[in-house]
Structure 1
Amino acid sequence: MALPFPIPRSLVPGFSLSRATTADIDAMVEVYYESFLTDPRNTFWWSPNKVAMFVWMKRRMHRKMNDHSVRHFKITDAETGELVAFARWDIPKGYETAFGAWVGDEATTINVTPGVAVGGDVPQEGEHLPLTSASAEATNPPTIDFPEGAQSELCRDFFNTLSRMSVKQDAKSMLGLSLLCTSPKYHRRGAGKALILPMLAIADAEGLRTYTEATPGGRPVYEKLGFQEVDQLVSDLTKVMEGFEEGYKLSIMVREARTAPLACGD
């Protein structure tokens, strides 16, 4: 499963970058869950039941792994074998080869409990350096179920708003960074940047813009990589969480393709 890009020179010694597979799902869910807990605002739509969230996340991971338009990459600590970080990318139609052929096993698909048809994907985050980004799924997403114990109306409103934002920006025509998660114990080690820069270099070579939805913690990181905020999704947390007096702002960000080569080793 060769990578579609060279290993960034900036990758920390002892870290390895490779494709993520269904065998990594358990570890990916752990990292996903823990990375978002670093900022409670990112989880306002979650179920309070950790087990229910893990079940939902695993179902979702399996479905994404079996989507031929999605690519997953991971960084691993070679010494401990631990998952450091991973990224999920949505590839626009017609550019599948440029970003590496899909690799997966459709036989691993598991059933998803029928739920509410919503337009959009879960907001994710760019990981927490804190980098975090949400989904870039566009129109006509598959029916998904909400995590058991979550407020369905809250989830539906949030996800539908994400979908409208995606359609408004024509995210389907862009490379989409739909999920970036870094284990909290590996923050500030450059893992998120190492997962992003190689794909942006390919996007530049193909003349593609890149779309992401960034949490408050992730926005400054994306701005340094050339993303600009083009819109916001604001949620009033005062109605759903105690201790928050301001709205939660998810930044809708787009990065224009660059003509100058991107320095992936910096």
Structure 2
Amino acid sequence: MSKPTFTISRASLRDVPRIGEISTRAFDNDTHSQMKIMGQKPGSFAEGMAMGARSWIESPRAVLLKATDDRDGTIVGSMAWGFRGIELDASQGDDEEGTEQVEETDGDDDGKDEGTTEKYEPIPGAERINELEAMTSKHLHDFMHRIMPEGSKCIFMGGITVDPKYHGQGIGSQLIRWGTEHADRQGAFSWVHSSEAGWPVFQKHGFKEVERLTFDMDMWAVGPPPKDGVFGDREKWGEYTFRYMVRQPVGA
């Protein structure tokens, strides 16, 4: 049996639901994401993933890539690349109309939306998770201002996810190489704000850690880890580390 192959191309708005689904599932084993979900309205995390995909597609200074299985065209992964001081080239893929509309569900069905809002009760202690989100976001923004001041030539990863069913087939590496090869051709450096699980993959592609943020999740959590098989019999969430990693262009 021949080895599956995958094509990298630019995503469009019609891909948002599938990319949002993959992004949500990809974080099932990420303790930081699962801890935040416990303090959110049901479905909010998935909605946020889809909104994030849409914002990357619509941004004039970013490219959202999709990896599709050449056997049946299924989207199996995605990756966002932002850029400064350079231009990135990505084919539009299957959907030449990059500005097409996708179906919205919050327009005319006012009764349904209002009913959902009325039934939702704020989760006790959830404000602590919001404080953690604000802290980590500020840390990231401060790093961004330092690492890519005005006049910089760089690209940066806004997120990479691969459908868990397709792990181990080199899809993540394909998505990363698309960006690093562009960076090398244009003499630009690249950087990533890596999750705890992702940094070894980026290290393999030439990224080196330059800074990190470590925090104790139990100081922010609304409760202990769920007993759903993902976290086993853990009583505490434990520490989590975000790593900031930079790659210099090869051949510059």
Per-residue deviation, 1:257: 0.8
Alignment of 1:150-169 (within 5 A): 151-169=129-147
**Contact 1:18–1:73 (CA under 8 A) maintained in structure 2:** yes
Q: Which has the higher helix share?
A: 2
**Contact 1:99–1:199 (CA under 8 A) maintained in structure 2:** no
Q: Does the alignment pair 1:22 with 2:22?
A: no
**Contact 1:237–1:248 (CA under 8 A) maintained in structure 2:** yes
The residue number in structure 2 matching 1:68 is 60
Per-residue deviation, 1:65: 1.3
**Contact 1:17–1:76 (CA under 8 A) maintained in structure 2:** yes
1:210 match: secondary structure? strand
Q: For the pair shown, which has the larger CA radius of gyration, 1 or 2? A: 2
Q: Distance in 1 between matches of 2:82 and 2:138?
A: 18
Q: Percent identity?
A: 23
Of 23, 32, 54, the residue aligned with 1:32 is 23
Q: Distance in 1 between matches of 2:74 and 2:185?
A: 32
Alignment of 1:116-265 (within 5 A): 151-170=129-148, 173=152, 174-241=154-221, 242=224, 243-244=235-236, 246-259=238-251
Q: CA RMSD in A?
A: 2.8
Q: Does the alignment pair 1:59 with 2:51?
A: yes
Q: Does the alignment pair 1:78 with 2:56?
A: no
**Contact 2:6–2:67 (CA under 8 A) maintained in structure 1:** yes
Change (3 A) 1:45 1:206: same
The residue number in structure 1 matching 2:114 is none
Q: Distance in 1 between matches of 2:158 and 2:91?
A: 18
5+ residue gaps in structure 1? Answer: 1-11, 112-147, 261-266
Q: Distance in 2 between matches of 1:110 and 1:80?
A: 24
Per-residue deviation, 1:166: 1.5
**Contact 1:91–1:99 (CA under 8 A) maintained in structure 2:** no
Per-residue deviation, 1:64: 2.1
> What is the CA deviation profile of residues 122-141 of structure 1, one whole-angstrom value per residue up to 9, with x for unaligned ones?
xxxxxxxxxxxxxxxxxxxx
Q: Distance in 1 between matches of 2:149 and 2:73?
A: 35
Give me the TM-score of the superposition, normalised by structure 1: 0.70
Change (3 A) 1:106 1:74: closer
Of 75, 79, 91, the residue aligned with 2:83 is 91
Q: Does the alignment pair 1:41 with 2:41?
A: no
Number of residue pairs aligned between Structure 1 and Structure 2: 212
Letter in 2 for 1:165: F
> What is the CA deviation profile of residues 43-62 of structure 1, one whole-angstrom value per residue up to 9, with x for unaligned ones?
43345444222223323322
Give me the TM-score of the superposition, normalised by structure 2: 0.74
> What is the CA deviation profile of residues 88-136 of structure 1, one whole-angstrom value per residue up to 9, with x for unaligned ones?
000113x12x43488764564999xxxxxxxxxxxxxxxxxxxxxxxxx
Range moving further from structure 2, 35-44 or 224-233 = 35-44
